[in-house]
Amino acid sequence: MEAMRRVSVKQRGPQTIEDLFHAEYNGMVRLAYTLVNNNAEAEEIVQDSFAEVHRRFDELRQPGAYLRTTVVLRCRSLLRRRRVMERHAPEPLEQLPASACELWDVLNKLDEDQRVAVVLRYLGQYRASEIAEIMDMPAATVRSHVRRGLAILRKELEQ
């Protein structure tokens, strides 16, 4: 149902920030959560992003795309800040299946670009051209990040 509503909104474009919220909020929190490993921070990022979209809503032709880019940018900013602090401890995920726990650990080992590209590809189901737009880099670079990220994941997960 939510997927249908999302398609519908995408076709017409959200008329209000509330439409956009209903269409995108949960998906954006899931995406941000998978990138930053933390629910409270994921929600912070997404809510701040919605506030930013609201500020520019009238001038945006594709608020949904702008929202996704903003969320990913903010996630990347947080990941960079964590890297600087070099002490981030991912939160425990006792309820996950073992294979997902393993994936979680290995995702944390990928560099930021690889991680974002792989998550957008496999969780967000975005095409390379869409990821390129979100990450503000050429599609070929995105493919390279996905390929390298996958190689690491495959090596670590299939050991």
Partner 1 sequence: MSRFDDRLEQDMQHIADTATPSSTAWEAIQTRIAEQADHTELEITMLKPNPKTEPAVPVRMLMAAAAAILLVVVGLVALLNDGEEQSLRVTETDTTVPATTAAPGTTSVPATSEPSSASAGATAVALAEEFISARAAYDGDAARALVADDATIVQAFEWATSPDDYPLLSDLERAHGMRFLDPTCTAGSPGRVRCTYTLESDLTVALGVGPYDASFPLEVEDGLITHITHNRTTDGGQVGNYFHDVYRLGIVPWLVANHPEDLSLMRGQVGVGPPLITAESVALWEQHIPEFLASFEAADLAIAEDFITARNAHDGEAVLALFADDPFVRDDLRRDVNGEFAGFDEIDYVSSGEFDRVTGVELVDPTCEAGSPGRVRCTYTWANAWTRALGDDRYTGNSFVFDIADGRIESLTHTFAQGPVDGFEDHISEVTLLWVQANHPEDVPTMFNDSSFAQSAESLALWETYTAEFAASPAGN
Chain positions contacting partner 1, by CB under 8 A = 16-18, 21, 25-26, 29-34, 38-48, 50-51, 54-55, 57-58, 74, 77-78, 81-82, 85, 87-89, 91-97, 99-100, 102-104, 107, 118-119, 122-123, 150, 153-154, 157-158
**Least distance between partner 1 and beta carbon 136 (Å):** 19
**Least distance between partner 1 and beta carbon 53 (Å):** 10
Q: Which residues contact 65 (CB under 8 A, 6 or more apart)?
A: 133, 134
- Written in H, E and C, the secondary structure of 71-106 is HHHHHHHHHHHHHHHCCCCCCCCCCCCHHHHHHHHH
**Least distance between partner 1 and beta carbon 120 (Å):** 10
**Least distance between partner 1 and beta carbon 80 (Å):** 11
Give me 20's structure tokens: 């956009």
For residues 149 and 56, the answer to whether their CB atoms sit within 8 Å is no
| Residue 143: CB atoms within 10 Å | 15
Helix or strand (DSSP H, E) at 135: helix 128-135
Q: Which is nearer to partner 1, 138 or 148 (CB)?
A: 148
**Least distance between partner 1 and beta carbon 104 (Å):** 6
Q: Which is nearer to partner 1, 13 or 138 (CB)?
A: 13
For residues 118 and 149, the answer to whether their CB atoms sit within 8 Å is yes
Q: Which is nearer to partner 1, 59 or 136 (CB)?
A: 59
Give me 136's structure tokens: 């503000």
Q: Which is nearer to partner 1, 80 or 138 (CB)?
A: 80
Q: Which is nearer to partner 1, 7 or 151 (CB)?
A: 151
